[in-house]
Amino acid sequence: MIDLTVKLKNITFRNPVFVASGTFGYGIEIPDLVDISRLGAIITKSVTLHPREGNPPPRIVETASGMLNSIGLANVGVDRYITELIPRYESLETPIIMNIAGSSLDEYTAILRKVESVSSNIIGYEVNISCPNVKKGGMQFGVDRELTARLTEQLRKCTERLLIMKLSPNVTDITAIAAAAENAGADAVSAINTVVGMGIDAITRKSKIYMTYGGLSGPAIKPIGLAAVHKIHRKCSLPIIGIGGITCGNDVVEYLLAGAIAVEVGTANFRNPGIVQAIVRDLYTYCKEQKIDQISGLSGGVETYP
């Protein structure tokens, strides 16, 4: 019997394959296309204190082995999330992790306080301190150890639910930010968010993204994600959720070997919203062929050269 379950804090997930924030809407849009009960967890789209329209178009462009986005945190705001979405999660079997974003410490805290004040089956929060597409907040927190620590500490006081800090690769030393989150009480980190990039049209000579720069995701960034996870795993002892360019079961295994305990699939959902089901099937096949009973045993198992 192959066991794909993984544990994080006091929660057991049916498998280690989650869907990444911003790539699966609020988790309820595509139930007819996808059997969401097969997903390890759904991380919902970033929610801010007030509704946001996001950045003007063009805000998504395809690149070699990836995609650039500069959505700018378009979302319905926390009040509508509470009244319109949280009630719909009650009937879902899939664990829901709410992603939150803010432009100040107080904004992040206000969101959490609002959500904590209502009854919900949300199992935790992923805190977006790594969005490269907004002028205030977002990545501003995730590139600064001190701010990361203060925010984590403040949010920790507001919730006993799972608290995951989502880290940016656009830093000199991601392990220093992960350590700050760990010491301030985070339950886990997720790594990595997108890598700052740019697209230019040679004929029109125009930037392909209205905001000039965007966040690069997809297979192009998998090696960056793997290195980040491996470095954090070497330095910190908190659980890591790996993100970046996952499209198949072997990609998941690579992230687990690098030190992750679970992964988030992002950009691949845009090509095929059912891809996570295929990835989970891949994992069964991998475990069967490699004679692995428990997938959680793979975490951190990469052999590096001396």
Q: Based on CB atoms, which residue is closest to ligand SIN, 70 or 247?
A: 70
Residue 53 Cα distances to 18, 46, 98, 241, 293, angstroms: 26, 13, 19, 29, 47
72 binding ligand SIN? (CB under 6 A)? yes
109, 193, 247, 269: which one contacts ligand SIN (CB under 6 A)?
193
Site string for ligand SIN, 26-55 (x = CB under 6 A): --------------------x---------
48, 70, 190, 299: which one contacts ligand SIN (CB under 6 A)?
70
Instruction: Please provide the DSSP assignment of 80-140 as one string.
Output: HIIIIIHHHHTT--S-EEEEE--SSHHHHHHHHHHHHTS-----EEEEE---TT-SSSTHH
Site string for ligand SIN, 78-117 (x = CB under 6 A): ----------------------------------------
Pick the stretch among 67-75, 254-262, 274-282, 295-303 that binds ligand SIN (CB under 6 A): 67-75
> Is 236 assigned a catalytic role?
no
225 binding ligand SIN? (CB under 6 A)? no
d(CA 170, CA 131): 10
Measured from the CB of residue 47, what is the shortest distance to ligand SIN in angstroms?
A: 11
Could you say which of 131, 158, 236, 287 is catalytic?
131
140 binding ligand SIN? (CB under 6 A)? no
Q: How many residues make contact with ligand SIN (CB under 6 A)?
A: 15
273 binding ligand SIN? (CB under 6 A)? no
CB-based contacts of 24, cutoff 8 Å, min separation 6: 30, 42, 43, 44, 45, 269, 273
What token pair was written down for 15? Answer: 């498998």
Measured from the CB of residue 150, what is the shortest distance to ligand SIN in angstroms?
A: 20
131 binding ligand SIN? (CB under 6 A)? yes
Which is nearest to 155 in space by CA: 132, 184, 179, 177?
184
Q: How many residues would you count in the chain?
A: 306
Tokens 């789209």 found at: 45
CB 171 within 8 A of CB 145: no
CB 211 within 8 A of CB 59: yes
22 binding ligand SIN? (CB under 6 A)? yes
Interacting residues with ligand SIN (CB under 6 A): 22, 46, 69-73, 128, 130-133, 193-194, 215
Active site residues: 131
